[in-house]
Structure 1
Amino acid sequence: YLVPTIPDISTPDHDLYTKKPVQFSFYIQDKMEYANFIMNIGLRYDYFNSRSKYSTNTIWPSPNDPSLPAYVDKNSILADATPKHQLSPRFGFSFPITDRGIIHFSYGHFFQMPPFQYLYTNPNFKSSYAVGTPIFGDANLNPEKTVTYEIGLQQLLLDDLAMTVTGYYKDVRDLLALQTIRVSGDRTYLKYVNKDYGNIKGITLSLVKRRSPSSPLGVTVDYTFQVAEGNDTDPDAFFLDLSSGRQSEKIPVFLAWDQTHSLNTTVTFGKINDWTVTIVNKIGTGLPYTPQITGKQVYVRTNSGRRPSQFIVNLFAEKIFKLFGFKVTAFAKVFNLFDNLIERLVYDDTGRATYTLLYTSGGAKSAEELSQKIPLVHSPEEYFNRPHYYQPPREVRLGFEIDF
Structure 2
Amino acid sequence: MDDPFDTIPTAAIRDGRATDAYFERTESALEHAGRNPTVVAEVTADQFPDGEFELFAGLENAAHLLEGLDLDADAIPEGCLFDGGPVMRIEGEYLEFARFETSLLGFLSQASAFATAALEARRAAPDSQVLSFGARHVHPAIAATVERSALVGGLDGFSHVAAGDVIGREASGTMPHALMICMGKGEQEAAWRAFHESVPESVPRIALCDTYTDEVDEVLRAVDELGDDLDGVRLDTTGSRRGDFHHIIREVQWELAARGHEDVDVFVSGGLTPERLRELRDVADGFGVGSYVTNANPVDFALDIVEVDGEPAAKRGKLSGKKQVYRTEDGGHEVGLAARPGPTDGRPLLEPLIRDGELVREFDLGEAQRYAATDADRVGFE
- For Structure 1 versus Structure 2, the TM-score category normalised by the shorter chain is under 0.3
Structure holding more helix per residue = 2
TM-score (norm 2): 0.22
Structure holding more strand per residue = 1
Using CA pairs under 8 Å that are at least 6 residues apart, name the structure with larger relative contact order, 1 or 2: 2
